[in-house]
Chains A and B, each alone.
Chain A
């Protein structure tokens, strides 16, 4: 490969909680700046743990992990996390929720307001800036959450099943919007999901994981060029990739332990 420095690099990383069983075993992975990597696998395979390690919310046990050349915690300023649920603060309006990361960094009020407003408009929510989370639908809440993650224009975005609770139509639309936003404000993405279609549509690389202990089982390259159109989902090459990943997932579930 060229000499572009990796955004994230796992070197024989192992993770266990205390003296408990190994949660992740011998993880090796090099993430390039333009990667959109999806992690998919049975529950308990440690795919969410991958994101926790990269964000520095949870430390690795042995092996090495660097994020943008430094320790995960030191790279926090340049990464953002999008959680399974929208995790909006219910007492703040959409606008003020999006401002939170800027507020925590002590940015001046004017800058906070204009940036947050811009981000809300980017995800198509300029009109509901003054709504409280309880007045928003599930899909809108998730959009606010995405806007909030983007306020600091992170180089690396970690997404932990962000669309898992949404209906399929909303999910598809948000998938398209996420890619559209990414073309305007580029970021490397590590994406955890249960949905094969979603993974194939979004990613250029899919890592299929196995459980007990959690480990990488196979990697599938998805070469469709970006920007990707919604029609892509109907094409036979797309379906072939979906089938390939689904088959790998079946293999993983049939042989659960090594």
Chain B
């Protein structure tokens, strides 16, 4: 089957989406619920159009917070993993504490973070960072530890120096794991940012982010606008995931088995 109509990627999701939206309308009509409890998709789109200036500004704000936290997590995650993956004693001393940090719900830490990092963007970025840091570290460390022993023996046979083994063997071998960590982090980063904004409110001034809009629309009982905010957050999440998926493709498609053509 060559380049036929992409039934699986487009047609079936479109059909199931249409069925879902019809059901939504059906429930609304049959139940007689009010618009402010269950708005129809059309009402949501109308709200999104009406609120588009606020939504766009908020999305930009959230994107900035999410990106900042994500980048910090990506950079620090990389170096933390190098430390953990290359030194047994560092791994033994630090990894349990990273787990402890991971096990502590961020919601509990939020007031402390706000107190230390300050409300507004610094706090939001810190929360995002904390939320997306661990999956990167866990994945990349795993990758550094699962280097093929025969490859290591090959490097030893060539009298490779430690830094050569790290740079030419262990890091490239761990790259797919790192990217898998980034993919998880990309889904978490916008959530972290929105959660942070929700907790800080509008302390950073301006429109605030999507999280602040959630808070604001909720108190004003603007339910269709609340749904529109959810839609915007969802789109933002997609952009993040798509960007990392592209990164993943760019680094791996030439050589990694996950991009192997089935009919190769």
Annotate B230-262 by CB proximity to A: 1 below 8 A, 0 otherwise.
Answer: 000000000000000000000000111100100
CB of A83, distance to nearest CB on chain B (Å): 5
Q: Are A132 and B255 in contact (CB under 8 A)?
A: yes
In the complex, A85→B257 CA distance in Å? 17
Q: Are B160 and A104 in contact (CB under 8 A)?
A: yes
Q: Are A134 and B150 in contact (CB under 8 A)?
A: no
Given A87-B150, A89-B151, the answer on whether A134 and B156 have CB atoms closer than 8 Å is no
CB of B78, distance to nearest CB on chain A (Å): 17
- CB of B35 closer than 8 Å to a CB of A: no
- The number of chain B residues with a CB under 8 A from chain A is 24
- CB of B27 closer than 8 Å to a CB of A: no
Contact pick for B168, options A55, A85, A103, CB 8 Å = A103
Given A104-B164, A134-B255, the answer on whether A89 and B169 have CB atoms closer than 8 Å is yes
CB of B153, distance to nearest CB on chain A (Å): 6
Residues on the A chain within 8 Å of B161, using CB: 104
- CB of B49 closer than 8 Å to a CB of A: no
Given A90-B255, A132-B254, A134-B260, the answer on whether A80 and B157 have CB atoms closer than 8 Å is yes
Annotate B137-152 by CB proximity to A: 1 below 8 A, 0 otherwise.
Answer: 0000000000010110
Residues on the A chain within 8 Å of B172, using CB: 89, 91
Q: Are B153 and A104 in contact (CB under 8 A)?
A: no
- The number of chain A residues with a CB under 8 A from chain B is 24
In the complex, A81→B155 CA distance in Å? 10
List the A residue with the shortest CB-CB distance to B251: A91
List the B residue with the shortest CB-CB distance to A73: B159
List the B residue with the shortest CB-CB distance to A102: B158
CB of A162, distance to nearest CB on chain B (Å): 12
- CB of B64 closer than 8 Å to a CB of A: no
Q: Are B153 and A81 in contact (CB under 8 A)?
A: yes
CB of B195, distance to nearest CB on chain A (Å): 37
> Main SS of the interface on chain A?
mixed
List the B residue with the shortest CB-CB distance to A80: B157
CB of B163, distance to nearest CB on chain A (Å): 11
List the B residue with the shortest CB-CB distance to A132: B255
Annotate A73-109 by CB proximity to B: 1 below 8 A, 0 otherwise.
Answer: 0001101110111010111100000001101110000
Contact pick for A87, options B151, B156, B164, B254, CB 8 Å = B151
Residues on the A chain within 8 Å of B254, using CB: 132
Residues on the A chain within 8 Å of B155, using CB: 104
In the complex, A80→B158 CA distance in Å? 8
Residues on the A chain within 8 Å of B256, using CB: 90-91
Q: Are B153 and A101 in contact (CB under 8 A)?
A: no
CB of A49, distance to nearest CB on chain B (Å): 13
In the complex, A85→B77 CA distance in Å? 33
Residues on the A chain within 8 Å of B148, using CB: 87
List residues of A whose CB falls within 8 A of some B CB. 55, 57, 76-77, 79-81, 83-85, 87, 89-92, 100-101, 103-105, 132-135
Given A81-B157, A89-B172, A90-B255, 16 additional A-B pairs, CB 8 A? A77-B159, A81-B153, A85-B150, A87-B148, A87-B154, A91-B172, A91-B255, A100-B154, A101-B158, A104-B160, A104-B161, A104-B168, A132-B254, A132-B255, A134-B255, A134-B260
